[in-house]
Amino acid sequence: MNSASASPASSLGGIAADAASRRPRLAAGDAPVIRVRDLDFFYGSTQALWGVELDIRRGEVLALIGPSGCGKSTFLRTLNRMNDTIPGTRAEGHVLLDEVDVNSPDVDVVELRRRVGMVFQRPNPFPMSIYDNVAFGPRLHGRARRAELDELVERCLKGAALWDEVHDRLKASALALSGGQQQRLCIARALANEPEVLLLDEPASALDPNSTAKIEDLIFELRGRYTIVIVTHNMQQAARVSDRTAFFLKGRLVESGPTEEMFTNPTRLETEQYITGRFG
Amino acid sequence: MTSSPSFRRRRAADRAVAALVRFGGVGVVLAVLFIAFYLVREALPLAAAPKLEESGRRLPAVAAPVAVGVEDFTEALWELHRDGRLVLRDVADGAELDAAAPLALGPGETVVEARLSPDQATLAVATSSGRLAALPLAFAVDYDDDLERSHRLEETTPRWLIEEGDGPLAAFSVLAEDATVWGAAVRGDGALELVRGRIKVNRLTGAERLSRKVLRLAEPGPITDLALLEGGAVLAGFADGGLAAWRADRPFNKLEECGRTPAGAAVRQIQPLIGAGSALVARADGAVERWMMVAPETGRPILDEAAEMSEAVPGLRLLAPSTRQRVFFALADRELRIGHATAAEYLAAVRLPAGVERVLPSPREDHLLLIGADWVEVRGLELGYPGVTARTLFARIQYEGSPAPAWTWQSTGGSDAYEPKISLVPLILGTFKGTLWALLPSIPLAVLGALFTARFLRGRAREIVKPAVELLAGIPSVILGFVGALYLAPAMQDRMLAVFLLPFVLVLLTVVLAVGWARLPLPSRRRLHEGWAPFLLMAVYAAVGAALLRAGPGLEQALLGAPFREWAPAALGLPFEQRNAAVVGLAMGFAVTPLIFTLAEDAFRNVPETLAEASLALGATPWQTSVRVIFPPALPGVVAAVMLGLGRAVGETMIVLMATGNTSITRLNIFQGFRALSANLAVELPEAPHGESLYRTLFLSALLLFAFTFLVNTAAETIRVRGRKEL
């Protein structure tokens, strides 16, 4: 485990409070973008999620924390139906994106994934140029006009804080970038689809501290413009970047709330034990 | 560091294994090198030029003879003298061994000129009174107790073709065929006569009688030389350089002209080649041409020029043919050229001493006689493989009897005089034809199947499909060969149209089913999910395919109005054979498809799953993901798979041997067979006389095959390795 779990909860609370003070306040009481109701999830006959109920508000950064195998990644992947790619999986209950159940037969999974972008734990740029990586999504969805793409690629690379580092070698292979740059490229690639929600599955866990800091800064930048759900193992990261935090344990959502509150004054014993490093 | 016993043991084992692996690796490389070396060693002598000994034994002639030659062993020399005596002498010391006078000349009659047939079995003898005889030459060998050979003349009877002379003949030729002896001559009065002598044997007494018929052309023109070609055709050359040919008409009533050429350099000599299928025409300017009678599709044979030797021989005096092949010796002033008529080029030039008037090869072509006014010199001769040149291997050549130049492989024929046709072009083309028709359906099937298995098939189905297809690759090709030849060929013959329609029908069916599937309500789709849909689809394919093939013959009758095998030659101009490239394509597909499939499947599966995930997460459909994300990085692997399939198809032997008919044609027509390099080796190598031209030519073709598969496989491996590095 990282150093955060060894630190007392109060220091995490401090980080959260400090981060919160630097953030502009979001308009409270917005209708949530995603409402999850009574969600069960199965890998074959193994149940991985049990009755999860959670609201995700527009423009917030929600951190999902919990020990390994607690279902936080599974939960994240139900939001854009990425679990469909795994044979034998099944979701029951409701994941409502703007009040439409993403699992209903009327939902076009292509459109769903355009609206709900995703960035994975390991940077996975395509073996193509930086430009083509960013333009991949827009091209899929039929936006191929050169000028429009140029503008979009620049905007997304700037949005992912990568433009200054790569603007003079857009045609170079994406595989030549460093790990951190690759991950920011993956974020830029996801942004190019102009999603409403961005799912980040431990985006910094494979990166060095310096790159991690850049990713965190980026998440901070993106806050408000996109709704971000981030899975993280790193308590300090959760404290630094998120508005709200949800704690998962053994496939159940234990509790969720404003990050500052979760880290300073958790209501449940398991939460406190987890964030103070008692287990996990 | 202390070295414990266990450490030493492990180190010893480690070294032993390393040595073993190194031995294996080096062994494989050595084996490949050895094969290459062996093929080169067997094929290399083809490149050697003919060689004539620098000097030889010279012995004086007793009296200037009309004709000279040697028997088979080049141990005895025969001389025909003016008085009609035939004398046999020892080559070593010139001692007389035997003598005879088979001609029985009239009083005061002498032999004026004698010409030896290319096979040296018949001597055409013209006398001072204008008579013409065909004198068979035969020699007997006796062995004494120490197995020492001694030679004598065999008794033969001359066959008089012109019995009543009217003055010396201006030109003459004799041709002995099975039971017919032909004679042609320009008589003392300038008329051209063709004599057909049929040998009749009295069954009771065994006595031979010659029944003669003569055709006469009163004023043929100033003929300088003439020669008889196969079937009694007369080829004559004029002083003005023109050539003309005549043949007897069917009931043997008159001479019909069958070709005449405009004037040119004066004709010096017309020399038939072995078998008399063609003749060389030597002109005053040193040019040598090859002429023959060719049979057009319809009508009578006509005179045609097959080739002109690549260069003129300055000071050309006369030509002498070799006894077993289409090699000839062109004697010029103090120079000898050794040429090959089929190759139409000279292979060697040798300086000669002064005074050589004639040259003659020994019957076995292992010696050459240089004949002066009163001496004969015997030199050793090594012809090598004069019939195998770049031209005979790769260029279009007009062979004896064929109306036009062509690439032909017909290495052996029925008689000794057969002209070998050893063009490798039909074989190379055949190999590529088989490969083409095998790969054309295999590549899309194997590559798309691999993509489907690696990226679309889910669950256990995927674990079943690949080993099952790989099992197919293990079928011995001899089984595929006989299934192709004995089952597929006759079955496909009756339903060719259905076979060709099948892939299109199945693709169309798939599209229709896919659209229908997408419209099905979700619950019924879900019920069939989890990997069973493909198997259902396969059942549908099998049913539709069986129905289509069953309806095949009827379909052809309904759509084309005739069975396809009759319709194709008439409507498309494509001849149809039962054992054709389509059968091979299908049979070889069973060998090639699994190979390409399994390697391509690996390539597709080796593309990291994370790339597919990234693509799907961006909203790409599985198909878009396959085309845009999976395919590009897998491409080197797929190309390598196809190349290895290509290598397999090129080297494949049993299937093409059994299912093609092995006709060495040069057409890519899918409805005809072909002969591949590999199958040709399998057929002909066991029959080829060791060390002879054919044997070495086959090794050359093997080397070609080896080089090709080696290059293809190396290229495939290089692409694969490079592709793996980039990923």
Q: What is the pLDDT of residues B548-594, one digit of tens each?
A: 999 888 888 888 888 888 888 888 888 888 888 899 999 999 999 99
Q: Does B520 lie at the interface with A, CB-CB under 8 angstroms?
A: no
- In this structure, what are the phi and psi dihedrals at residue A71, rounded to the nearest 5 degrees? 100, 5
CA distances from A25 to A121, A229, B81, B516, B626 (A): 29, 18, 132, 52, 44
Is the residue at B56 inside a domain? no
Domain co-membership, B540 together with B647? no
Q: Does B531 lie at the interface with A, CB-CB under 8 angstroms?
A: yes
The residues facing B367 across adjacent strands are: B380
Shortest CA gap B638–chain A (Å)? 17
User: What are the pLDDT digits (tens) for B151-187?
Assistant: 999 999 999 999 988 889 999 999 999 889 999 999 9
Domain co-membership, B585 together with B711? yes
What percentage of chain B reaches a pLDDT higher than 70? 97
Facing residue for B613 by CB, picked from A124, A189, A193: A124
ipTM of the complex: 0.89
Q: Does B62 lie at the interface with A, CB-CB under 8 angstroms?
A: no
Is the model more confident about B227 or about B417? B227
Shortest CA gap A183–chain B (Å)? 12
| Residues ≥6 apart with Cβ < 8 Å to B138 | B121, B153, B154, B156
B458/A136 touch (CB, cutoff 8 Å), yes or no? no
* Residue A4: per-residue pLDDT: 42
> Which ranges constitute the DSSP H helices of chain A?
3-6, 9-22, 72-78, 109-115, 130-140, 146-159, 163-166, 179-191, 209-222, 235-241, 259-264, 269-275
Give the domain range for residue B720: 425-490+575-726
Tally of structural domains, chain B: 2
Residues in chain B with CB shorter than 8 Å from the CB of A128 are 632
Tokens standing for residue B220: 């043929």
Three-state DSSP class for residue B503: helix
Q: How far apart are CA B425 and CA B697, in angstroms?
A: 13
Contact yes or no for B161/B132 (Cβ under 8 A) = yes
Of B562, B584, B604, the residue that ends a domain is B562
Give the domain range for residue A239: 3-128+179-275
Q: Does B48 lie at the interface with A, CB-CB under 8 angstroms?
A: no
* Residue B3: per-residue pLDDT: 67
Tally of structural domains, chain A: 1
Domain co-membership, B479 together with B499? no
Q: How far apart are CA B261 and CA B237, in angstroms?
A: 10
Positions of E strands within B409-462? 409-410, 421-422
Facing residue for B619 by CB, picked from A124, A127, A141: A141
Is the residue at B665 inside a domain? yes
Rounded mean pLDDT, B195-208: 90
Domain co-membership, B551 together with B607? no
pLDDT at residue B61 greater than cutoff 80: no
Where residue A25 falls among pLDDT bands split at 50, 70, 90?
A: low
Is the residue at A151 inside a domain? no
Tokens standing for residue B600: 């391509």
Where residue B525 falls among pLDDT bands split at 50, 70, 90?
A: low
Is the residue at A97 inside a domain? yes
Domain co-membership, B471 together with B608? yes
Q: What is the DSSP letter of B273?
A: P
Domain co-membership, B430 together with B486? yes
B617/A117 touch (CB, cutoff 8 Å), yes or no? yes
Is the residue at A149 inside a domain? no
Domain co-membership, B592 together with B666? yes
pLDDT at residue B359 greater than cutoff 50: yes
Where residue B724 falls among pLDDT bands split at 50, 70, 90?
A: low
Domain co-membership, B508 together with B458? no
B619/A137 touch (CB, cutoff 8 Å), yes or no? yes
Is the residue at A183 inside a domain? yes
Facing residue for B617 by CB, picked from A105, A113, A125: A113
CATH code for the domain of A69 = 3.40.50.300
Shortest CA gap A178–chain B (Å)? 16
Is the residue at A157 inside a domain? no
* Residue A270: per-residue pLDDT: 86
Where residue A2 falls among pLDDT bands split at 50, 70, 90?
A: very low
DSSP labels, B672-691: S----HHHHHHHHGGGSPTT
Shortest CA gap B640–chain A (Å)? 19
Domain co-membership, B646 together with B545? no
User: What are the pLDDT digits (tens) for B3-56?
Assistant: 688 888 999 999 999 999 999 999 999 999 999 999 999 999 999 999 999 888
B617/A190 touch (CB, cutoff 8 Å), yes or no? yes
Domain co-membership, B672 together with B632? yes
Is the residue at A114 inside a domain? yes
CATH code for the domain of B628 = 1.10.3720.10
Shortest CA gap B444–chain A (Å)? 25
User: What are the pLDDT digits (tens) for B526-543?
Assistant: 666 555 777 788 899 999
Interface mutation target, options A126, A186, A187, chain B, most CBs of B under 10 Å: A126
Contact yes or no for A87/B463 (Cβ under 8 A) = no
| Residues ≥6 apart with Cβ < 8 Å to B310 | B344, B345, B346
Is the residue at A55 inside a domain? yes
Is the residue at B35 inside a domain? no
Is the residue at B293 inside a domain? no
Is the residue at A213 inside a domain? yes
Domain co-membership, B447 together with B579? yes
Contact yes or no for A245/A263 (Cβ under 8 A) = yes
Domain co-membership, B629 together with B712? yes
Is the residue at B532 inside a domain? yes
Q: How far apart are CA A111 and CA B180, in angstroms?
A: 94
Measured between CA atoms, the residue of chain B closest to residue A191 is B618
